[in-house]
Amino acid sequence: MSAPLLYEVRESEIHNTGIFAAADMEPNTRIVEYVGEKITKKESARRGIELMEKAKETGDAAVYIFTLNKRYDLDGAKGENPARYINHSCDPNCEAFIERGRIFIYSKKAIKKGDELTYNYGFDLDTWEDHPCLCGSENCVGFIVDESHWPKLRRILKRHAASRQKWLEGEAAKAAKPVKKARKAAKI
């Protein structure tokens, strides 16, 4: 007899399908293994490009490839891998660990039955624009990016906001000009 599952898969408010705690859990509980196909970095890169092409067509930018080590990645897109439904959060309650070539999802803190399980996907900064974050946590940075990149991302977002503000002011100035002219014309 196997132990009862610590999770259940159902619809999520964060994104499509999610995984939820089926029981209260202590921190550091091994919840589920992230299983998939072990592939070389070369194959991983090929699939990554394929996914990007698909994302351009369908808008679905789901990534299920996990970095295993310097030589191999794990593609969890196909087959029985409920862990692939775990959503990203900027304030996650779980963490992924690699143990002897296998990936396991552990609770990071105490979790209550019914809570949605999340972890930080640890994405690189170079594709941040493709992965907006909808986690809804108070500290959400707005994009799915590894926490180590947050300070840099915040600087980028600040620059973006500043240039957008400048652009808006420029547009406002352009729009204001005809109004001024009209007023002058009205005086005459």
Residues within the interface to Zn ion (CB under 5 A): 90, 133, 135, 140
Rounded to 5 degrees, what angle do the CA atoms 43, 126, 128 make?
Answer: 110
Which of 25, 145 has the CB closer to Zn ion? 145
Q: Min. distance of Cβ 126 from Zn ion in angstroms?
A: 18
Is the CB of 140 or the CB of 156 nearer to Zn ion? 140
What residues contact residue 131 under an 8 Å CB cut-off, 6+ apart?
A: 61, 121, 123, 143, 144, 145
Q: 35 vs 140, which CB is nearer to Zn ion?
A: 140
Q: Residue ranges of the alpha helices (H) in 59-123?
A: none
CB of residue 135 to Zn ion, shortest distance in Å: 3
Beta strand extents in the chain (DSSP E only): 7-11, 17-21, 30-34, 37-40, 65-67, 72-75, 87-88, 94-99, 102-107, 118-119
> What count of residues does the chain have?
188
Q: How far is the CB of 85 from Zn ion (least distance, A)?
A: 17
Q: How far is the CB of 16 from Zn ion (least distance, A)?
A: 16
- Residue 68 or residue 135: which is nearer to Zn ion going by CB? 135
Strand locations in 58-161, DSSP E? 65-67, 72-75, 87-88, 94-99, 102-107, 118-119
CB nearer to Zn ion: pick between 63 and 90: 90
Alpha carbon of residue 54 to chain centroid: 18
Output the smallest distance, CB 140 to Zn ion, in A: 3
CA distance 112 to 90: 18
Q: Cβ 175 to Zn ion, closest distance in Å?
A: 35
Residue 125 vs 140, nearer CB to Zn ion: 140
